[in-house]
Structure 1
């Protein structure tokens, strides 16, 4: 049994992770919330799962490196600086960072990449995501993950081609852009649809999360997979062998 430590254990995902650990045959080493001592937790576990906040990431990585334990990062809203910190930590420990730990979303991103590659720029790409009213970042980490997959399939840079919301007189749609729209309300765990739109036909690839348990199970599966890995930066597709 792997001893799993959960950072951000008081949040919705943290609670879902705690409920799922035993069901997947592993041992809950403990958890810490905001202001908790991550270093102590890292010292008594085999792997960490972090669903806390971007502001806490640097300290969490430092604790994982000091203890020499791998870490799965599912925190969303990360910026360029955070990815630099992850790259640096990956020189010392195994790190898996993802915008979504769902196995279904991981496969969806693979399909989006393939579709974007084969359909070409004659097909416009728009990504629509819906989440509960309490979500604080937009577009969601999953939407950005899917956008990155689409851009990669086209051999393009997402940062140069993303259009995040439209308002007013925006002008015609530019060829090659990837649009994002975010809906917020209710208790929706997560819905994502990637629309491919061409003249006279449309293709939609979708994923619906019915509860947070799927993300918890995916995160634990990722942690299990990461246990014996050498230092480096890993991704969810590798967990599925994609």
Structure 2
């Protein structure tokens, strides 16, 4: 029997971090090897499994090198600044990375690609298996509905989300634009107010909702004459993101270098 894959969770005391710790604890082929959090986190020193009632014998720490020593894969759902620092430490230790952080600039994505040349990395704005299947469906739909249909992307998240539109909504936009032979940067409309004039049929519109504890809802509307087609995904909890992340970590165990997406993990290319 192969040794369990040794995983480190960044942001271990947060909502997503706790979900990841719980999912790892329930998996027979994985083990929690480290738990990271910010230097000002009140959870430092606590057992990473205490919040879920399943102690793991791993204390939450802000010491990157200590957490990553001997690890195989880091799973990171933090913020761009933190993720960049974590990747620098991963490079020192030869640790692979699953990155679900969103809000990266083009230059920061280039940094991640450079890291992936040394240590295999999965980068995806949404780790949910269902969302990534939806992305495949959107590609098919956009190619078939390329004429006579206006496309709008509507997304909703909790009040604490700091970037908009969501990384998933933007990835949906990228998939739609590519299927239509366009560049999203040239056809995206992110805001409408006042006298906007008639809708340009070549555009892809985005609408953003923030409120309450919404985990994540995404709908793409294809509005034609006499009919509307909607392709939606709604997350009821973060469990789907956690399970997708674990699938990504297992995938990384099979490769040594390269930058991958969830379409590679799920064989959807």
Q: Please give the TM-score of this superposition, normalised by the length of structure 1.
A: 0.96
CA contact (8 A) 1:8 1:51 kept: yes
**2:14 aligned with 1:18:** no
Task: Within 5 Å, give how 1:119-134 maps onto structure 2.
Answer: 119-134=145-160
Higher mean alpha-carbon deviation, 114-123 vs 81-90, is at 114-123
**2:200 aligned with 1:174:** yes
| 1:183 pairs with one of 201, 209, 213 | 209
1:66-114 residue CA offsets vs partner (Å, 9 max, x unmatched): 1112100000111112111111111111011001000000000010011
Secondary structure, counterpart of 1:8 in structure 2:
coil
| 2:90 pairs with one of 64, 71, 86 | 64
1:172-203 residue CA offsets vs partner (Å, 9 max, x unmatched): 11122111101111111111100011111111
Give the structure 2 partner of residue 8 of structure 1: 11
Query: 2-side partners of 1:38 and 1:197: how far apart?
Result: 49
**2:54 aligned with 1:28:** no
CA contact (8 A) 2:34 2:68 kept: no
Task: Within 5 Å, give how 1:1-242 maps onto structure 2.
Answer: 1-25=4-28, 26-35=30-39, 36-242=62-268
CA contact (8 A) 1:7 1:38 kept: no
Query: 2-side partners of 1:182 and 1:104: how far apart?
Result: 21
Query: 2-side partners of 1:104 and 1:116: how far apart?
Result: 18
Query: 2-side partners of 1:139 and 1:199: how far apart?
Result: 27
CA contact (8 A) 2:77 2:99 kept: yes
CA contact (8 A) 1:57 1:82 kept: no
CA contact (8 A) 1:108 1:205 kept: yes
Query: 1-side partners of 2:32 and 2:258: how far apart?
Result: 25
Q: Using CA pairs below 8 Å that are at least 6 residues apart, which structure has the higher relative contact order?
A: 1
Moved over 3 A (4+): none
CA contact (8 A) 1:127 1:194 kept: yes
Q: Please, which runs of 5 or more residues in structure 2 have no aligned partner? A: 40-61
Larger radius of gyration: 2
Q: Please, which runs of 5 or more residues in structure 1 have no aligned partner? A: none
CA contact (8 A) 1:122 1:198 kept: yes
Query: 1-side partners of 2:155 and 2:84: how far apart?
Result: 28
Query: 2-side partners of 1:168 and 1:226: how far apart?
Result: 49
Secondary structure, counterpart of 1:230 in structure 2:
coil
Query: By how many angstroms is 1:30 displaced?
Result: 1.6
